[in-house]
Structure 1
């Protein structure tokens, strides 16, 4: 069995004549937390869309736990153990917090399409949804519609939904975007708790979040992964400084 939860091998993606991802290669060991950073337009979100099946690759190969996931639909990749969040909060705004989480745990507990089972009678679904709700700190908001939550609460709910399905590989796309410093600090602690023992790949612009959470940092520039190493080594990497920061600003101040 592969030691890598996720592998990208010379992955390329073109939209018409424009090549956005230009031979990206990356290996993420099981249980690692890896942050993807890079300037705007570097291809970070496109990589996420390729990994999660939202876009198809032009060439190359993507492996999940040693098995190719090229050409699979997003729901098929999810059922193989990968779940992701989005830059824009992606929740059911008209459903309650509890109902959002209940939807998220159904498939992981083996409940597929069934028209003769009442959701309210599924004790294991209820218990798991309540457990996740407690972990994200929204017990008091259980019956509140998700659209009525604060922005930070909505992001916490989305992280809960992403993890609740039982996936072992979690992709978070800018999980602290738009948050205040205190909200961001709380989100980091939540992510650390919710992804314990899992593999995490995240896109993040806040360097304090990146250096505080990631085991490794992958730097993407012009659709290529130019470096993937520990935060300390990335901080000292001259190629990263030149390509990502122009060789001027300290890494801690990068956006």
Structure 2
């Protein structure tokens, strides 16, 4: 639980603190001064129409794009100038819209590779990873978490789409990151696959900070503690699912049309 003042506001350092974040590509201004604070242990969803800047926001937070101006802090540490791998080693990990696995390697090998740095192997390639009981045990624990133990020795490329997404989530959490960012984790899934991934996300992000971009409002309202609505590079509202659903600006700009389309 976060430390709380008598006024009910958290006194703890936010997991992510974004201040006046801006990004332009040439003359096109994509991010227009985003301010956002996400508490440790919070599950936070970012929603908005196509082209709103959601993936750009993720890329700015994770160091894939440098901001034009503004700051991003992870647990109070300024991320300016850091490469994605450096940010990852500070405890932030992300998945992508397109499944990002090694299809010809086994499911187990995919997870084991993602564990190497966290397990202290660094660049010591002479270490015989096959002989490491600790590494094998850690990989098997993650396979159990993501319900893929019975797929352990299969090439990752033969898994179903939902299983591949589950594997990617396993890879994302393998390094021990305490801030997990998921970009449209249930895109293209059936209802049963979505339920499977929702349950998985809920379990593997327990006691971690989750930031996700998602279009499925059932997933958003089912998982998120708070929601931010991004429209044309600006956050127009942040609040609990109930507050966001009832916000007239959100209904006008985005949510009303989405909810109507879902029926």
TM-score computed with the length of structure 2 as normaliser: 0.93
Aligned partner of 1:69 among 61, 67, 79: 79
Task: Give the 5 Å matches for 1:115-126.
Answer: 115-126=125-136
- 2:150 corresponds to which of 137, 140, 149: 140
Instruction: Tell me if structure 2 keeps the 8 A contact 1:52–1:77.
Output: yes
Gaps of 5+ in 2: 1-10
Counterpart position of 1:193: 203
Q: Distance in 2 between matches of 1:190 and 1:47?
A: 24
Gaps (5+ residues) in structure 1? none
Decide which of 91, 94, 101 is 1:91's aligned counterpart.
101
Match of 1:31 in 2: 41
Structure 1 residues 1-255: aligned runs within 5 Å:
2-245=12-255, 248-249=256-257, 251=259, 253=261
CA distance in 2, matches of 1:29, 1:227: 17
Q: Give 3-state SS (helix, strand or coil) of 2:111's partner.
A: helix
CA separation of 1:166 and 1:237: change in aligned 2, threshold 3 A: same
> For residues 208 and 81 of structure 1, what CA distance do their matches in structure 2 show?
28
222 and 239 in structure 1: CA distance in 2 versus 1, 3 angstrom threshold: same
Shift of 1:121: 1.1
Distance 1:147 1:233 in 2: 41
The alignment yields a C-alpha RMSD, in angstroms, of 1.5
**Count, aligned residues:** 253
Measure how far apart 1:249 and its partner are.
Answer: 3.8
Q: Deviation at 1:110?
A: 1.6
Deviation, 1:164, is 1.0
- 1:252 and 1:124 mapped to 2: Cα distance? 51
Q: What TM-score comes out, normalization by structure 1 length? A: 0.96
Aligned mates of 2:133, 2:90 — CA distance in 1:
25
Inter-CA distance 209–193: structure 2 relative to 1 (3 Å threshold): same
